[in-house]
A and B are shown apart, each in its own frame.
Chain A
Amino acid sequence: MFRNQYDNDVTVWSPQGRIHQVEYAMEAVKQGSATIGLKSKTHAAIVALKRATSELSAYQKKIIPIDTHMGMTIAGLTADARFLSRYMRTECLNHRYSHDEPLPVSRLIGNLGNKLQVCTQRYDRRPYGVGLLVAGYDDKGPHIYQTCPSATYFDCKAMAIGARSQSARTYLEKHLNEFLECSVEDLVRHGLRALRDTLPNEVELTSKNVSIGVVGKGMDFTIYDDGGVESFLAGLDKEDRRGGRPLPPDVEGDLKEVPVGESTAAPQDPAMSVEMDVEPHSGKD
């Protein structure tokens, strides 16, 4: 991916039918640290790897509570995520006030998608540079939704986004059938194992850099940090790490680029590999 004459504005199409600004916004999501969401028949869980910019600062919060039946984890621009979380919280509050019931998750994601889309079609706005994994529980059961800066959203059985998340997605795909009948502890442990696969060799999951959020039947959205994470991490170190670390620890590792052709014709758009989704899709219709 490199600069060309069609990428200055979000209102400009490239000859290949792509909007580069939106795709660049998706890159911002890939810069964020890895985070994973998965669900069983009764619960939805999200785990996130927290990042500290230096030894002096605290680890950046990744999991944001939205309402008692919903929470989300973010990858990308934290400020954009905070803005969106305020919007989502207000929507949930207003719905509870007027309908005396929790806002169904799919409804909120739909509204959010519409809000995100506006920024992809106006010259005076920019796309939100954050990807969300929303975990919620309503009368239709547990949900995991993924949203992108491109304003598309996906209803997922499990998903991973952020830096080096392809390894996590591989783990999730491999174990997809086990999730449905899992207990809460086992579900979270699966998530932690998937998260572990995104780490470079020297780094370990500790109670300091892991955040866990769970919601489900009879359980309000609860965040586990620091001490609360230890019981889930216990026993995980003894297990072998599956999925080695052949890729160098750089962010572009999970985006394979087709090299640009040698021809001197007008610059070609580099071909994009399929982006981060588990099943083939054509965007939400």
Chain B
Amino acid sequence: MFGQAILNDNLPGAKQHHWSPYTDNGGTIVAVAGDDFAIIASDTRLIQGYSILSREQTKLFKLSEQTVLGVSGCWCDVLTFTRTLEARMKMYLHEHLKPMSTPAVAQLVSTMLYHKRFFPYYVSNIVAGLDQDGKGTLYSYDPVGHCEKNRYRAGGAAGAMLQPLLDNQVGLKNMKGGVLPDITKEKALMVIKDSFISAAERDTSTGDGVIINIITKSGVEVMHFPLRKD
């Protein structure tokens, strides 16, 4: 910032260099938690600038039979964060002789992110799963570990574009009709598919395909459907 004030940019050959450790690799994540299920979905496109790095990169990471983590943002941080988290979960399993529950994972994610408060993981996280009573739960995070329990959330590149849609269709916010019923699995799936189709229309970093993980007490079911490739 000081450099910019003094630097005369007419000087031939002079250029202020600035290397950033972060890059935005795109990716959108949408998740909805119901009474006995949780659904989390991500698009499959990985970008850098206006280039496409991959059309088939999922951003969902299965942590256990009851918990799936969706992470997008800077892909190097995504990879390191998920690997470190998996190692921590294995340590928990060895120490406590049982797998980590979803609320425990949620807290661990928060503390792990905050540990890097002064050089953050540039990632947008959503933890979706079933808690110990079998109820669907969802936790969303900012890059430094602020954690919120939600019923529905959109994160990542097109997060801001999709969250209002979810507020309307899943949360029934400010709509006449009284009490919010618990959303059914079929309706949640429809809303999620529609949100990705809409995001692909307007956001360049979203497209190519969607991977959906449906977490129920019988395990994690994986679905895939294509999106526009432009």
Which A residues lie at the B interface, using CB under 8 A? 65, 67, 89, 93-94, 96-97
Contacts and interface: CB of A to CB of B under 8 A. Distances in A.
A96 B82 CA distance: 13
B91 A97 contact: no
13 contacts: A65-B94, A67-B90, A89-B90, A89-B91, A89-B94, A93-B87, A93-B90, A93-B91, A94-B87, A96-B87, A97-B83, A97-B84, A97-B87
Interface residues of B, number: 6
Contacts of B87: 93-94, 96-97
Contacts of A97: 83-84, 87
Prevailing SS type, chain B contact patch: helix
Interface string B72-96: 0000000000011001001100100
Contacts of B83: 97
Nearest to B87: A93
B178 to A, nearest CB: 50
Interface string B29-52: 000000000000000000000000
A65 B83 CA distance: 20
A67 B87 CA distance: 11
Contacts of B94: 65, 89
Residue of B83, B84, B94 contacting most chain A CB atoms (<10 Å): B94
A175 to B, nearest CB: 34
Given A93-B87, A97-B87, 11 more contacts: A65-B94, A67-B90, A89-B90, A89-B91, A89-B94, A93-B90, A93-B91, A94-B87, A96-B87, A97-B83, A97-B84
Interface in B77-123: 83-84, 87, 90-91, 94
Going nearest first, the 9 A-B pairs with the smallest beta carbon separation are A93-B87, A97-B87, A97-B83, A89-B94, A93-B90, A93-B91, A65-B94, A96-B87, A97-B84
A89 B94 CA distance: 8
